[in-house]
Structure 1
């Protein structure tokens, strides 16, 4: 198969490249990234195209890359600059529209879209896991969630208006983690002056006791994508590992004592520090963490024969270890994080939450 992957240098893209390269020469892989990797596995045997999907002419630029593809996997998404929601909208929503338009124009038969648990409306009060029929209304306070919802609506419209266009599958995973995403997660959510090693010396975890989130290992998401591709599966699929991760689970991995701080108080502190440019995490992420439903992955297990190979607590321990060790790859998206480099970027280009892409 000739498979084109947008966002192929990121967290899921890296794992998917590894997965699809297990048999050398089995697939022709083309990757699209704003900053393509230069070398190193699993990137070196991929046909790379440098493209920012937020660009006005993205659909036209995608056409030649999509030409002759058996499938397109759309993973590309923006998380920063979190204060520049116009850019994030153009990247996530505009980029998805460009991918759909180019895939239809080039006659691509199958398109796999990476959605998210963040597209779902807040979960039921009893915390019961939801299936793929749960409403996709998102969380209004977070640009990421609004954009994932808007992308879902684009896919709905495509299916209504172009029943003969690319067959669509959409994956809705929980939080996707692996060791190599450690440095990237630090850049997304930790002030640049904070050393990663401090994660090994956290005495207290001040978080609302009600926190519980779905989580899945990146390699298991890549496995699900491969199964969707080989079976030409369509429709939505939830992806999460057991057990759901609680505040106390996170505290145990950190070796910290959990302290109940009401989420409204915690949100106020995050809101103030975000607006003061002290840290890059949009407070809407806290709203999503407390509102997102747990998900029932029965459909993926039944129709894809998919099952997580890594339980959620092991995946949590792996990624927190990766963050403390600033784990990384040779991809610019997953590059190694250092305080010196982060502070230099802060001086040259401003805070990550405001930093314009060039």
Structure 2
């Protein structure tokens, strides 16, 4: 089967999970074409995966010109027998204008839960798979369209404490802060401003703060313990080998670090309209119940950070972590769901038989 995967940019998170799905589909013998842009296209290239770059600017990827750019690619994809769309919510109806091929949507958020309108744009999708914990979403499973919560996509279970060659020379504890693919993300910039001084105050003299991302401070961080690592293909291995990780609590990196059992402090700050994302608040609270994981709010002080760091470094319950991991979906299982022939039409017929309004 020829399958096209449209993957959102806006950092590396979408591309990372889509790459796991692409590999699972290819293992089944399917031909998979990948379309992305911005940081997403950069990630695929960095990982050695062929990707058609749609030429969209990340910060404008929901603008009319982005829709037009992706629509312009569809005539050249007429041979595709299945479309998978990762978080480009507006794309299913655009695809439907060009082809009757089935569409599967992947996302970890919905318009309705952010007061951004209903999710009618998802109607053309055969199924919408929310790759997140159902508990994190303050919605009934039925919004404007059919939604299935399948759990976060499990990352490879990398060996803990094994440092890649790039950071093997660290003599003290490796504290790894990840900014994600997009260093200009406001939440990441707030994390840098608020937490880096606290990390350095807490850290010992031989500890090292390794920051995954490009330096947006123009060299303002002069502490000898700070090392900028840039955007790199071995970022997952560096995080897995961290003694302590610090990340943006509004992304799915939180789920990957929790799955690996890496002691983690997540910086949780408002992301839009100066309001906390309700999904991120629920997700991080859930992770803190099962993994060595804690949340630092924007008002956290040096004492707060030190207390949280010591707590997660001393935490670790293998049984609880195993229970958490069981709620994730493997890339192969996600591939099975994507390929499963379960049509929206049949689902709507079942709801009508039950007398439910649709």
TM above 0.5: no
Higher relative contact order (CA 8 A, sep 6+): 1
| Bigger Rg, which one | 2
Q: With structure 2 as the length reference, what TM-score do the two structures score?
A: 0.39
Q: With structure 1 as the length reference, what TM-score do the two structures score?
A: 0.39
